[in-house]
A and B are shown apart, each in its own frame.
Chain A
Amino acid sequence: MTLATQLINVMAALLLLIAFAMLSQRRILSLIYLYAWQGVVLSANSVVVGYSTGQTHLYYSALLTFVLKAILLPWILHRLIIRLNIRWDVETLINIPTTMFAGIVLVVFAFNLALPITQLAGTITRSTLGIAIAVVLLSFLMMITRRKAVPQVIGFLALENGLFFAATSTTYGMPLAIELGIALDVLVGVLILGIFFFQVRDAFDSLDLRHMEKLKETDE
């Protein structure tokens, strides 16, 4: 195994670790820091893949990832939770150890799913596809098990990170135009969701999304 492959493997393992840490995290502030770290690892991974395969467009992609996902989005989210004054504990639907074991099952499932694809692929990053799928599924799990709006949004963003990592590991990243488009989408999405948080809180006095289930006109 070359050093580049080893480094990529380490990054992949780190991403999986961060995904699990997010799943187990009780505080919103720590969730945001973990999300920022995920961005850092992703962009470092892009640099390593770009350097070892000579794909220069991955450098721009890494820079974009770093600015957007490690600095800008965490900063926006940080501002948001300060404005909303919600730095306290996150409520989960299922208790954390159960969620973790569900997570392990998902990881095993993802690894099995990726195995046949991995054997067909010829990229140096091929073995990390399983981890990319696992990160996507774990982010899904996080969105499902969280009750409040902000952790769900972070779960959504982590999901996008997982997809980005999958793209890097299977095809050395998407064309730059598409990546720019997705980055813009995510940015605008977070801004809109930020406005949404305030609306939800004004309407229900809480960011608990259970209240949304009762969103019906009354006959009074």
Chain B
Amino acid sequence: MAPWIQTVISQLAQTLLVVLLAPAMLGWVNQCRAWLQNRTGPGVLQPYRVLGKLFHKDAVLAHTASPIFRIAPYIQFGCMVLAASIIPVIEADLLLSPAADVIALVGIFALARVFSSLAAMDIGTAFGSLGARREMLVSSLSEPALLMVFFTPLLIAQSTSLTAIADALAHRQFALYPSLAFAAVAFVMVLLAENARIPVDNPTTHLELTMIHEALVLEYSARHLALIEWATAMKLTIYCALGIALFMPWGLAAAADWRGVPLAVVALAAKLVVAGAGIALLETVSAKMRIFRAPEFLGMAFLLAVLGMLIFLLLGA
């Protein structure tokens, strides 16, 4: 087989894997939450059923909706597919990974968010603009924190490319990096905030006083809603995969090494299962914060990320 066919196949396989696996990941988190709350839970496959149901319905659009409202779900979905194609999930060296480094990756997330907020304000309902404003409040604070989190691995790998970072961290001699631990804690805090999980937002609420993400998607229905929900699930999966690639990349397949792939898939599945259970546990033990405490929470994440970087500069570890 020609090498370029191999690269294309592995790229397509990885993107498809993330896209198709994402609802299961969301389902797994919800299932773990249900177990922890002593409920039976709808099962890991429930998000697929929801998506199937939504795709079969007829979309309803408001009279006041502009084209932005209609294209926003596609843009969000497209952003997440692109993000899924550039992060190292199974193999570090991907066809598309030179297209964007970690800083551009943060930009891709920001693009998706800007369109979801624009679409929420587009209809002109009170809840939409309320949700958009809250979303912007949270994301304006989580984005710098996320960038700071990336700086510690960047300093260790001496590169901003995700491939180089994952390679440098996965195939190095074992060493304790206290700075990476700080960055990892900050990353978990950002992950919870960005994916609208419990201390910052409750993904299951429709209570107007507290909802952030749900207020953004309130006006959507059918296939548009399905795409948004799918993109949300993908975002969660991508964040988990990113955390895995940065902070526990063991088992990642080296470039053009087909024998490493089965091991990498098993390792990834195990790590995603652990990560999902961990998120569910964190969500169960913490209480939802007031919206005005969210800046403090994210300020803390920013601080931890900065501390990690400072410690790396001082200790060299």
Contacts and interface: CB of A to CB of B under 8 A. Distances in A.
Interface residues of B, number: 21
Given A96-B296, A100-B299, A101-B299, 4 more contacts: A9-B178, A97-B296, A100-B300, A127-B314
Interface stretch (A14-22, A154-162, A202-210): A14-22
A142 to B, nearest CB: 15
B315 A128 contact: yes
Given A6-B317, A100-B303, A12 B178 contact: yes
A114 B315 CA distance: 12
Contacts of B176: 6-7, 9-10
A180 interface: no
Interface of A: 1, 6-7, 9-10, 12-14, 16-17, 20, 24, 96-97, 100-101, 103-104, 107-108, 111, 114, 127-128, 130-131
A97 B298 CA distance: 10
A9 B299 CA distance: 25
B156 to A, nearest CB: 13
B230 to A, nearest CB: 36
Nearest to A114: B314
Nearest to B298: A97
A153 B140 CA distance: 37
A20 B175 contact: no
A156 to B, nearest CB: 23
Contacts of A1: 175, 316-317
A141 to B, nearest CB: 13
Given A14-B178, A104-B303, A131 B314 contact: yes
B180 to A, nearest CB: 10
Contacts of A130: 314
Interface string B165-178: 00000000001101
Nearest to A5: B317
